[in-house]
Amino acid sequence: MNFQAIRVIYKFEMLRAWNTLLQSIASPVISTSLYFVVFGAAIGSRIEQVEGVPYGLFIVPGLVMLSLLTQSIANASFGIFFPKFTGQIYEVLSAPISFFEIIVGYVGAAASKSLILGTIILITANLFVDLEVAHPVWMVTFLILTCISFSLFGFIIGLWATNFEKLQLIPMLIITPLVFLGGSFYSVNMLPPVWQTVTLFNPVLYLISGFRWSFFEVADVGVGISLMMITIFLLSCLLLVWWMFKSGYRLKQ
């Protein structure tokens, strides 16, 4: 195992965020605050409660997931796409590193950054509402699983993308709609029956539902199903990335 290589890749990727520290911290704090002002205060004053939870509280897990998903993907995809784009990847390819070590370095760093981001958002949210977590262990488990899976997914996108447009394509056209329609800001029960069924095909719903359950013990679907879905997603990503490296996909000519 080439631990030094993992260490330097991880450190390099973390340093990249450190160099833009203000942006890394300020942007989640500001956007979370904005969501609270718009959804929590303005709309929340009319909705008041969803399934027995005050609306301001209800949206917290969704907000966290929204940022985690988009940031994990953005971070991890850029982390591997950029050296590929500039040609600096030659160094990683010519070093005595296995694909597993490359993933641990890049995805580990992206997931760590997301985890920090999630914590910052939770702290910010706590300034607006009184957060109580019913199942802290489950909450952290969901948080970590999400960070890892979606960083891995972002890594795959970064490997697959051949230009900046493709890099943005999947996050913009698929992920963002899925998160917004996955019950970030509402309960599925508030939808007409047809749309409830449609929503069940949205994988992000299971994530948000499970995560929300760890806070308030209210969920759209069973927490077991949520856990299973995210595990399946993680395993699929692992399988895909394993195949990509095995075949030298878009990395080696």
Partner 1 sequence: MKAIVKISNLSKTYNTGDQALKNIDLEIYEGEILALLGPNGAGKTTLISTICGIVSASSGSVTVAGHDIVSGYRITRDLIGLVPQELTLGAFDTVWNTVSFSRGLFGKKPNPAYIEQLLKDLSLYDKKNNALMTLSGGMKRRVLIAKALSHEPRILFLDEPTAGVDVELRRDMWRLVRGLQESGVTIILTTHYIEEAEEIADRVGIISNGELVLVGDKKTLMHELGKKQLILDLKHPIVDIPESLAKYALEISDDGNQLTYTYDTHSTRTGITALLQSLNEAGLSMKDLKTRQTSLEEIFVNLVRSQA
Residues that bind partner 1 (CB under 8 A): 2-5, 7-9, 12, 15, 19, 86-88, 90-97, 248, 252-253
CB of 87 to partner 1, least distance (A): 4
The continuous run of DSSP H or E covering 116 comes out as helix 99-128
Give 9 or 230: the residue with its C-beta nearer to partner 1: 9
Tokens representing 70?
């988009």
CB of 84 to partner 1, least distance (A): 11
Give 10 or 216: the residue with its C-beta nearer to partner 1: 10
Cα-based distances in Å from 2 to 15, 87, 96, 103: 20, 22, 8, 12
Give 162 or 231: the residue with its C-beta nearer to partner 1: 162
CB of 152 to partner 1, least distance (A): 21
The continuous run of DSSP H or E covering 11 comes out as helix 3-19
DSSP string of 167-193, one letter each residue? HHHHIIIIIHHHHHTTTSSS-GGGS-H
Give 113 or 212: the residue with its C-beta nearer to partner 1: 113
CB of 29 to partner 1, least distance (A): 24
The backbone region for 163, taken as left when phi is positive above 0, alpha when psi lies in -120 to 50, beta otherwise, is beta
Give 201 or 253: the residue with its C-beta nearer to partner 1: 253
CB of 26 to partner 1, least distance (A): 19
